[in-house]
Chains A and B, each alone.
Chain A
Amino acid sequence: MASDKPVLDISNLHAGIDDTPILRGIELEIPAGEIHAIMGRNGSGKTTTANIIMGHPDFEVTDGGVQLDGEDLLEMEPWERARAGVFLSFQYPQAVPGLQVGNFLRKSVAAIRGEDEAKGTEFRKKLKNAMTELDIDRSFLGRYVNDGFSGGEKKRFEILQLMLLQPKLAILDETDSGLDIDGIRTVAKGINAAVRGTDSGALIITHYSRILEHVQPDRVHVLIKGRIVKSGGPELALELEERGYEWLEEEANPPNGNMEG
């Protein structure tokens, strides 16, 4: 059911924390079926953007709007956004000791996709296939959520959730960091499977171009100091790899601008 509305529509988004502005007028549109990338240095506001789309309670939106398929996300609680179809693969996934992976997956699928999707052989088959695709061992299901996971296991687990939850919008925050090249290939496979050929959209946040060799983005956006200063095709990622970010920084800081925002 393709809708003509973009999956994600961010307009003039200003947000911050404790009166400190972090995002300063973000504009971003992801049409259905497209994968976009946001690149930028540490501290440029990438994770904050992801957190605000998901509804992290610590941040305050001071201006602008965020819509999912034409629906106002900012009015919703985080779990309502998840149920509406937003998924965030966390840069730092949290451990929940004592909560078993298998149990957690079932509960999350039930919460987001409905009870019926979370039981029976159909669910088990989906789970098994996704785990095979991501090279995850069965014993994983008995472990506790992110508890004692290696960096790579955490990232694979995020992608496993992505594959089972089938969101409208997948945001992947630094999913490539801490992964070796095989790991990157594996999670890229998962991301492609979840988004390509569907009406979903994806936002890949990274500060390397490596993952983008395996998940071809339709658009690449450069975030500097809370603002998107340049957008382009996949070739922009390669250009950034070669030239770094300095050449773009002037655009973010007009000559008499305030460095600290």
Chain B
Amino acid sequence: MAAKEAREAVGEYKAGWHDPENATIRFDFGLSEQVVRDISALKNEPDWMTEIRVKAFHHFENRPMPTWGNMSMLEEIDFDSICYYLRSSDATEKDWEDVPENIRDTFDKLGIPEAEQKWLSGVTAQYESEAVYHSIREDLEQQGVIFLDMDSGLKEYPELVKKWFCSVVPYQDNKFSALNTAVWSGGSFIYVPKGVHVEMPVQAYFRINAKNMGQFERTLIIADEGSSIHYVEGCTAPTYSTDSLHSAVVELIALPGAHIRYSTVQNWSANVYNLVTKRGIAHENAKIEWVDGNIGSKLTMKYPAVILKGEGSHAEVISVAYSGKGQHQDAGAKIHHLASNTTSKILSKSISKDGGRGSYRGMVSVSPKAENCKLNVVCDALILDDGSRSDTYPTMEVANPSARCEHEASVSKVSDEQVFYLMSRGHSEEEALAMIVNGFFEPFTRELPMEYAVELNKLMALEMEGSIG
């Protein structure tokens, strides 16, 4: 069995191992209103949450699949063969020593405890449906910073959660935000009090271990006036021959003058559907940045969004996508300028290789009342071989003539002369390609914490290995 799985494992994916599944609670495959109610009951949730879940479930059922992105891949999702809730540890521990050993080993191999000691303010580690580890530095706690897994957030701060939950991404937003709202479990809940600056990033790490697993974390970050926080998330899963589904919802609220930066390095194995809704609201003079890297997964559809609601607010979406064999990264950004003197910048870089497909799908709009807005959109694609594909679907809806819009797009191929130049300096063809690819991603990588940047460069070098025919 293991040998068969190993044979089915694709490529050089390094996080593709899996642990034996030691579920303490595992729901049957498939989704129904009862499953939704059971999840809520298991978590002892307040009635209002159960009700939202149930409403969201019915919306999900009635809502057709998106008619864009990759419809044929979407149609392949078998919602009946997914497990919607699986718990492998009965508690969220504050000490790695207390986390069940095989789970702890997994996070060790992924380097999480080490990173925590070196450069993080707090860590939450989610395994299947629940957080298994959670900690925050004491000084931040003393300053009133709340950093919890979402379930604990709901228990300890029900009023705050009730106020903001679904306020940025209503469950009716799309089919997958409805699904997430119905069956959500885990994720992060963060509140940063007025004027508090969280200097070092906090990190969430999401790991799917089981086969045919659905992971539906829900994250809500509220940065109060004049505060700032940098949230980083990473994710991996074992390589299986059957598909898993990751469908998260992330809501950010940056109150006046606050600054939220949300960085992601998504490295799901090539059998994971990654269908995620991420959106933030920026109030007066607030700033929201999405730094979004998509390296893994089978199909990703993700368009981090910012609603510039307050005057003088600013949005940035910097993203990279790598599409290898059998992968489609349909990624992009959405920015809505609702207020005057708001500015935004989108930089999207995509690489496709071995028949992979990268799409940039972007939407920027300026409402009639928003004066003097500035928009800048740049999307670059790099195609590594003939069978690979890159498309861009940009939309700009500018209803106020005072807006200044800039848009640039480029598609390039790696030239033989470039590779030869690097090879003449002692670098093998693979190394040369990795240098070109990492150079292409550099405007993105330099925005990441150093440790993540190094990891990403290694990851891309790995993707270039064995690729020369």
Contacts and interface: CB of A to CB of B under 8 A. Distances in A.
Interface of A: 54-58, 77-79, 81-83, 86-88, 90, 92-100, 104, 107-108, 111-112, 144-145, 161, 165
Contacts of A56: 420
Interface in B390-435: 415-418, 420-429, 431, 435
Contacts of B60: none
Contacts of B441: 98
Given A98-B439, A98-B443, 18 more contacts: A54-B424, A55-B423, A77-B429, A78-B420, A82-B426, A87-B424, A92-B417, A95-B418, A96-B418, A98-B440, A98-B441, A99-B439, A100-B442, A104-B425, A107-B435, A108-B426, A108-B427, A165-B426
B438 interface: yes
A104 B422 CA distance: 9
B140 interface: no
A96 B439 contact: yes
Contacts of B99: none
Contact of B424 (A88, A97, A107): A88
Contact of B425 (A55, A57, A108): A108
Contacts of B443: 98
A149 to B, nearest CB: 13
B198 interface: no
B420 A57 contact: yes
Which of B417, B424, B431, B436 gathers the greatest number of chain A CB atoms within 10 Å? B424
A104 B421 CA distance: 12
Nearest to A113: B426
Q: Counting chain A CB atoms within 10 Å of each CB, which of B416, B427, B440 scores highest?
A: B427
9 contacts: A56-B420, A58-B416, A79-B423, A82-B424, A82-B425, A83-B426, A98-B442, A104-B435, A111-B431
A189 to B, nearest CB: 22
B443 to A, nearest CB: 7
Contact of A77 (B421, B428, B435, B436): B428
Contact of B436 (A58, A79, A96, A112): A96
Interface of B: 415-418, 420-429, 431, 435-436, 438-443
A145 B429 CA distance: 17
* Chain B interface helix/strand/loop/mixed: helix
A112 B439 contact: no
A111 B415 contact: no
A90 to B, nearest CB: 6
B426 to A, nearest CB: 3
A107 B427 contact: yes
B431 to A, nearest CB: 8
B384 to A, nearest CB: 14
Contacts of A90: 421, 424
A93 B421 CA distance: 7
A79 B439 contact: no
Contact of A112 (B422, B426, B438, B442): B426
Nearest to A112: B426
A82 B423 contact: yes
A96 B438 CA distance: 10
A111 B425 contact: yes
Contacts of A98: 438-443
Contact of A99 (B420, B428, B429, B442): B442
A78 B421 CA distance: 9
Contact of B417 (A88, A94, A100, A161): A94
Contacts of A58: 416
B425 A161 contact: yes
Contact of A144 (B418, B421, B424, B439): B439
A99 B438 contact: yes
A78 B424 contact: yes
Contacts of A78: 420, 423-424
A144 B426 CA distance: 18
Contacts of B424: 54-55, 78-79, 81-82, 86-88, 90
A83 B423 CA distance: 10
A75 B312 CA distance: 63
List 8 A-B pairs, minimum CB-CB distance, nearest first.
A98-B439, A111-B426, A98-B442, A99-B439, A94-B421, A112-B426, A78-B423, A108-B425
A161 B416 CA distance: 21
A94 B428 contact: no
A99 B423 contact: no
B440 A97 contact: yes
A111 B442 CA distance: 22
A78 B425 CA distance: 9
Contact of A96 (B422, B426, B428, B431): B422
Contacts of B417: 92, 94
Nearest to A78: B423
Nearest to B414: A96
Contacts of A92: 417
B427 A111 contact: yes
